[in-house]
Structure 1
Amino acid sequence: MTFPEILRKEFDKPLEFKYFLYLFFIIFVFDLTYLGSFMIFLLFLFFIIEKAGSGLKEIQIPDFLQWIFLIFWGLFEVTQSIVKSEAFFYYFVIIIIPFTIFVMFNNSKLSIKDLTSFFHMLFITGIILSILSFFISAQIGFDLKKRIPSIWSHYNLVAAYFMVLLMFLLSFIVNTTNKRKKLFYIISFVIVLFGLFMTQTRGIWLATLIGMMYYILRKPKLILPIFLTILILTVLFYGVIMDRFTSVVNFGTDVSTLGRFQAWYASVLLIKENFLFGYGFDSFRYFRDSVITAFFVILPHPHNTYLTLILDIGFIGFVFYISFYVKAFYYSFKMRKMSTDPELNKFSDGLQLTFVGFIIAFIFEPYFTVLGAITYMLWILISISFYLKNHFNNRTDLQ
């Protein structure tokens, strides 16, 4: 075979989606919300072009009509928004990019081995971010009262990313028998836990704890190791933990907490006036002063995922949008109930724990947002849940 023939043979091979997953390594390490959205969209275009060669009819989109409605509803909300250019970017990041992620993962033909490699890559991103947090802490003299978001822009968003990794690491530890892999997961868990601690994000601490408590109810043998981990953290960082705890108990003197309560109240007042249709994207900062004239802290958003979505896309849009999360949550339970395969269970358990955690975390911060790459992580998890649900019955598809 001649060299040109070899090249032709190689380039005639279809592009495999699993190799492009490593783009997310860059996106999640550097928190590339803006650039990341264009990288994902470009990947989607390549994906569609590759599929066009074999026929677009092969593409399967679960809940297709629901997506069509949501895409057009989002455009309607753009027309309602105060600043149309900003609103379109919100629409692009919060609806269009999730759609592209959803389509690609559900047509990716990823094996369990591919998904495992993908999560190993994500664990490494968490290790890198946590180590960077350590070096930043060292530069400021290990002042543990300083919140450190590693190299992300927002404490709360990187904390949520750490939570996702911790939930899956815990699941991988429990469902893995290989001693070398288990050791890697345990070491990674400890390092990522440090990264989460350094963010000092109370809502995510609570969400992570509740997720782990839920896992204990299912697997009582985890009581001792999780209890010991919490005890060691409490002993080592007692002052910091108590400081964050008392800021919640004494919320009347904590400006951050009072500001959040005000933002929630202002959001509820606004929602009551336009419950079904909302106000358009990024609406809170334009309408908040119409219901409350003085704030303890001027906040750009309601600090709540549920309220933010209802404000921006109305209750109608909220129901369609959040239903993907609810279905993904349900599918993770259904898979776990029907499966006895630890290779599959490490994903269904991780999805369950993460979804439980975010139900709590959504109360304290908008996590479907243009402010960080956590939006992409959430939609990857939703997409994986749909993908596994639609393929795991034929286990040979996932070998």
Structure 2
Amino acid sequence: MSKQFRIAVLSVLIVVFVSRAYGQAVVPLDSANPSGYLLLDKGLQYRITKAINSMYNFDFPTAEHDFTVIMYQYPDHPLPDFLMALGYWWRIEVDVTNTRYDNIFIQYLDRANEKAERMFDADENNKEAAFFLAAGYGFQGRLYSERKSWTKATWAGRNALKYMNLSRGEAEFNPELLLGDALFNYFSAWIPENYPMMKPVMALFPKGDKALGLRQLETVASNAFYTRVEAQYFLFRLYASEEKRPYDALRISEYLHGKFPNNPYFHRSYARHLYAVGQWTESVSESFEIMDRIDNKQVGYESNSGRYAAFYIAEYYYRLGDRPMAKQYYLKTVAYGEESESQESGYYLHSLIQLGKMETAANNKVQAKKYFDRVKKFAKRKHPAHKEARDFIKKNKL
């Protein structure tokens, strides 16, 4: 098992466990707040939710204004710094290959961790402090694993798990609590099923239940206050990939795009799920809108989203038999893929194959060979695209 794979699995576990800690740090709106924890303050809950909704909609100035006000009111509390970090995490989430927000993201998490550590040092029974430390180190671990900083990722992951355990013990809340339990139940069963070599590692954790986890996730997605959007985010990804329920994935992504129309991640996911169920016209319409927003330099819309959008448009024209238009947008897919350094992605590789086939049909074998050679360069040998390129070159004597 490679070191990269071990860290990737650790990153998944970090997300699961930190989400579990998050669920145990929040109560519904009608609950009392005998602990005095800031996260449980009813009035602040509303203000935080409003700001977080602005963040999801990529209205960062509005969100950060509200976060700054909270920071002014509670200068020694980790909450506002953590929320500022979340805003930068969503900027990163749109295209995780882009490193320009890494430093400021880590700086806000470090500040949140320092404040939480002071709270924890003053009172080791402070569950709120433990939660912020678990979440802060967890998000650091996610970023470091993306950047292949394996030592830092491992260190952050261990701290996240340590403080996650210490954050337990508050009254049992519902339905916010269920998000972490749902993810834990699903992934702790999913990992050993899909990666048998991880079974000894997963044996150290409680046994999961995928079916139960999915039902819990659906409950959170329908009923939660704070964690509803996060549950919906995980749910449509599971529906689309693991559960093979593309229409359910489409339903949720359509809702999220409607609620947060300026979120590029939700926008391209909606276009993708329309494409997956064969609603080609609607997918192309959304894809053109994505590309227009990229051209207009709308916040968050960049080459990674463009790679998705251009590919769906190219496929649409190819199926219509309009080869010139298909070629134009396959070339755009390739250009966006290179700009976002996504040359190993399926859309990039498939676009090169399609371009190679079209050039072969036009008797431009030299150019066709160049496209197929690029496929072989960027695709791993066991990748289907690599095999298709080899077979096509051989069959057509390129």
- TM bucket (normalised to shorter chain) is under 0.3
Higher relative contact order (CA 8 A, sep 6+): 1
For the pair shown, the structure with the greater C-alpha radius of gyration is 2
TM-score, scaled to structure 1: 0.28
TM-score, scaled to structure 2: 0.28
